[in-house]
């Protein structure tokens, strides 16, 4: 029964994050212009210069820590689930 609580918390957190992201996108106007995208294949745009993004080392460390923590959480849920089988 313990593993059901951890999965329920994970699902609720994901749902909350998804809803917050959707309402942020709705508020910031991400869905305002729905007609513009369908004409993109018909427009002959000039070639753009490639944009290089320089990442600071701290960003890479934060991304790595986030990825490792998500992976560890998933492994922990699987291990805890295996104990109750």
Mean pLDDT confidence for 19-25: 91
Domain count, the chain: 1
Instruction: Say if residues 73 and 10 touch (Cβ distance below 8 Å).
Output: yes
pLDDT of residue 30: 79
Name the region of 44 (left: φ>0; alpha: ψ -120 to 50; beta: rest).
beta
pLDDT > 90: percent of the chain: 16
Tell me what the pLDDT averaged over the chain comes to.
80
Instruction: Print the domain residue range for 65.
Output: 2-83
pLDDT at 47 over 60: yes
Q: Are 6 and 84 in contact (CB under 8 A)?
A: no
């Amino acid at each position: 029964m313990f593993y059901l609580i951890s999965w329920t918390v994970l699902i609720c957190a994901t749902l909350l994050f998804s809803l917050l992201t959707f309402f942020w996108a709705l508020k910031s106007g991400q869905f305002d212009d729905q007609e513009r995208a369908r004409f993109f294949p018909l427009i002959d745009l000039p070639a753009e210069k490639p944009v290089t993004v320089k990442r600071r080392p701290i960003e890479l460390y934060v991304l790595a820590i986030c990825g490792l923590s998500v992976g560890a959480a998933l492994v922990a849920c699987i291990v805890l689930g295996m104990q109750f089988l």
